Amino acid sequence: MRVALVAPAIGYPNYMCMTVLHFPNGLAYLAGALKHAGHNVIGLNPNNDFDNPSAPAMLYYRLRLMIESERPQLIGLSGLCTDYHFIKDAIGFIRSIAPGIPIVCGGGMITHDAEFIFNQLQPDFAVMGEGEEVLCQLVRLLENDNDCFETIPNLWYWKNSSASFSFLNYDYPDLNSRAFPDYEPFGMRTIIEEYTLAQFYPIRYKRPYPKVMPIVAARSCPFKCTFCVHTQGPKYRARSMENILNEIKLNYEEYKFNVLFIVDELFAADRNRLREFCNGITYGRENFGWDFDWVFNTHASAAFNRDDLQMARDAGCSFFSYGIESASPKVLASMNKKIRPTQIAEAISLAEEVGIGFGGNFIFGDVAENSETIMESLEFFIEHCMDFFVSLLVVCTYPGSKLYEHCLDNKMLPDKLTYYETILQNNLTTMSDDVWTKWLMFFGVVYPATDIPFLKSVYAVSYYREPKEIQIEPGRSKAIWKVYFPCPHCAKAIFCRELIYDSDVEQETATFVTACPACSKRFNVRLKRHTGIYSPPLDRKIDAKVFREFAQNWNSSFFRIGTDLRS
């Protein structure tokens, strides 16, 4: 059977550049499973295409072109709750172009709210949980004109015009028995070659010509944080190290990547697994000529020591991250986070000592949050995190999480349909809306995308425009600029390449955030014309006292906070 798998358009109905970071790896696994079962797979990646007046027009054109040229017999769509508008429009477009082609939906949005989404969007089928075996069984039935859909686990279908569900069974086969993911139908080579510079900084700052490759080493998560969707659904399972290394070898020979992005929310739950991976990578370097950096996410309970991190660095690890979330014991308990702030502080200290980049997120806005708990986290951030890739974000209430159910039960969110259509994030804290809004303003000012005011800054010594352009939105292109500058922390001479608007360079407003390949600390780089062979670093880092004063005086206006932090 000819099966088309359609990747969601990131940021739809607006345009947004898809990079390896955004790629839905589950679709690649489905492609691998279908090919292994003898089916033809057509991949459609309606991203990075800016030749149409709007994203919906682009999606309609790409779907029509694919359907008319490839004649698929089944079309698969997948996405998260943030892809609601994309999947809704895609179903409508497919039905208008070729109403006879059955549509099957899957992904997190189905898994965590299947009945509501299935009745609302009305695809022909929907798959809860992991889709490899279910989709292959469904294709087999459709090929044989068999409608015994009730025999397939985790499947929603229509029976007598009513939504029906087969039965729930998340007892999956060993992950090692599944086919490797197949990324090629979705244009992965182009994404790696053309759009990797749009990645977030921690996975590319040590490679001026980064080629990033994803890998999934485990599924789900054993922890049950209240804001996370893994409180329900399939349980945590990890692949064997031999299986992981075999996929790395295959993809390295195919793509010659130089950064391996381990996308798991929890890659190394303990030091033994990390050490086993390091030994495998070192073997690959010595015997297969592997030359790549790698990054991973883990949990503070892994309790790595200095020898563990030194071994990882020697094996090519350039960055790892923890989910910090908060430094308030009250909020951490509310989140069911099961970590202590001292564990994070120890990890940051070890990372700095060894020379590996460290990152993480604070997510403010839990139901137990108040101004005092926010200040607890900011005090920790001031003391430990200001020079590292640690973000100040706001909690999201995703379907499937305990937090989402709590908010629905307590009428803290609108009805489900309004939620999906708007993805509204209401005030979930114990604070008044006025107080919470001012905190949101504070976070928005102190952590912008391209110019973080509390970081050290440095002028570029020189910068040159490459002739090639990469279009990232309709009518506007960014050029790649080669930039040379000293690290304001350790003075190492650095070269990197950055996507920058020409107009920003001309107006001398071009600024970007990066980190030093030697000391792993982050800073702002400013592209401004100046005289002399070398311009001393412009140290704009505000000290902890100033940052604390602004955080404590958040009643100041949005304009005042932003102006003073940047002065």
Model pLDDT for residues 248-270, shown as the tens digit of each residue? 999 999 999 999 999 998 888 77
| Cα–Cα distance measured from residue 20 to residue 13, given in angstroms and rounded to the nearest whole number | 20
Check pLDDT > 60 for residue 564: no
Residue 395: partners with Cβ closer than 8 Å, 6 or more residues away:
227, 363, 364, 365, 366, 403, 425, 428
| Cα–Cα distance measured from residue 548 to residue 85, given in angstroms and rounded to the nearest whole number | 41
Question: 190 vs 474, which has greater pLDDT?
Answer: 190
Check pLDDT > 50 for residue 534: no
Contact between 198 and 22 under an 8 Å Cβ cutoff? The reply is no
| Cα–Cα distance measured from residue 99 to residue 75, given in angstroms and rounded to the nearest whole number | 11
| Cα–Cα distance measured from residue 428 to residue 395, given in angstroms and rounded to the nearest whole number | 9
Question: 21 vs 154, which has greater pLDDT?
Answer: 154
Check pLDDT > 50 for residue 182: yes
Q: What pLDDT does 553 receive?
A: 67
Q: List the structure tokens of 216.
A: 């999934």
What does the pLDDT average to over 518-522?
A: 90
Check pLDDT > 50 for residue 407: yes
Contact between 344 and 406 under an 8 Å Cβ cutoff? The reply is no
Predicted confidence band at 567 (pLDDT cuts at 50, 70, 90)?
Answer: very low
What does the pLDDT average to over 53-69?
A: 96
Predicted confidence band at 408 (pLDDT cuts at 50, 70, 90)?
Answer: confident
Q: What pLDDT does 547 receive?
A: 65
What does the pLDDT average to over 334-340?
A: 90
In the CATH hierarchy, which top-level class contains the domain 2-165?
alpha beta
State whether residue 525 is helix, strand or coil: strand
Torsion angles phi and psi, residue 306, rounded to 5: -65, -40
State whether residue 242 is helix, strand or coil: helix
Which whole-number Å values give the CA distances from 557 to 132, 390, 427, 513, 550, in the listed order? 52, 25, 20, 26, 11
Q: List the structure tokens of 305.
A: 């020591």
195-431 classified as CATH 3.20.20.70: yes
Q: What pLDDT does 565 receive?
A: 44
Question: 415 vs 113, which has greater pLDDT?
Answer: 113
| Cα–Cα distance measured from residue 249 to residue 193, given in angstroms and rounded to the nearest whole number | 19
Which whole-number Å values give the CA distances from 288 to 207, 210, 282, 345, 489, in the listed order? 20, 20, 10, 37, 36
Q: Domain-by-domain residue ranges, the chain?
A: 2-165, 195-431, 457-526
Check pLDDT > 60 for residue 184: yes
Check pLDDT > 70 for residue 562: no
Q: List the structure tokens of 11.
A: 């940021």
Torsion angles phi and psi, residue 434, rounded to 5: -65, -45
How confident is the model over 370-379, as pLDDT tens digits?
A: 999 999 999 9
User: Which range in 117-126, 353-362, 433-442, 499-508 is most confidently predicted, on average pLDDT?
Assistant: 117-126
| Cα–Cα distance measured from residue 109 to residue 83, given in angstroms and rounded to the nearest whole number | 8
| Cα–Cα distance measured from residue 377 to residue 382, given in angstroms and rounded to the nearest whole number | 9
Question: 537 vs 315, which has greater pLDDT?
Answer: 315
Comparing CA positions, the residue from 544, 559, 325, 324 lying closest to residue 442 is 559
Predicted confidence band at 455 (pLDDT cuts at 50, 70, 90)?
Answer: confident
Torsion angles phi and psi, residue 283, rounded to 5: -60, -45
CB-side exposure of 241: number of CA atoms within 13 Å?
13
Q: What pLDDT does 443 receive?
A: 84
Q: List the structure tokens of 285.
A: 């370097």
Residue 479: partners with Cβ closer than 8 Å, 6 or more residues away:
465, 466, 468, 469, 470, 499, 500, 501, 502
Q: What pLDDT does 463 receive?
A: 92
Predicted confidence band at 560 (pLDDT cuts at 50, 70, 90)?
Answer: very low
The three-point CA angle 128-130-135 to 5° equals 80
Check pLDDT > 50 for residue 533: no
Q: What pLDDT does 558 receive?
A: 40
Give alpha helix (H) positions in 211-298.
241-255, 271-288
Residue 523: partners with Cβ closer than 8 Å, 6 or more residues away:
387, 455, 456, 457, 458, 487, 488, 489, 513, 514, 515, 516
Check pLDDT > 90 for residue 49: no
Comparing CA positions, the residue from 411, 413, 380 lying closest to residue 399 is 413
The three-point CA angle 146-149-153 to 5° equals 140
C-alpha torsion sign, points 442, 448, 452, 453? negative
Among 188-192, 386-390, 403-407, 561-565, the minimum mean pLDDT is found in 561-565
Q: What pLDDT does 199 receive?
A: 72
Check pLDDT > 50 for residue 559: no
Rg (CA), the chain: 24
How confident is the model over 17-26, as pLDDT tens digits?
A: 888 888 999 9
Q: What pLDDT does 543 receive?
A: 57
Q: What pLDDT does 447 receive?
A: 76
Check pLDDT > 80 for residue 237: yes
Tell which phi-psi region holds residue 233, choosing left (phi > 0), alpha (psi between -120 and 50) or beta: left
| Cα–Cα distance measured from residue 130 to residue 107, given in angstroms and rounded to the nearest whole number | 8
Q: List the structure tokens of 307.
A: 């020898």
Q: What pLDDT does 18 receive?
A: 86
Contact between 523 and 489 under an 8 Å Cβ cutoff? The reply is yes
pTM (two decimals): 0.91
How confident is the model over 295-334, as pLDDT tens digits?
A: 999 888 777 899 999 999 999 999 999 889 999 999 999 9
Comparing CA positions, the residue from 260, 29, 239 lying closest to residue 129 is 29
- Of all residues in the chain, what percent carry a pLDDT higher than 90? 61
Q: What pLDDT does 563 receive?
A: 41
Whether the bond into 202 is cis, omega within 30 of 0: no
How confident is the model over 206-235, as pLDDT tens digits?
A: 898 999 999 999 998 888 889 988 777 788
Q: What pLDDT does 561 receive?
A: 40
Q: What pLDDT does 214 receive?
A: 95
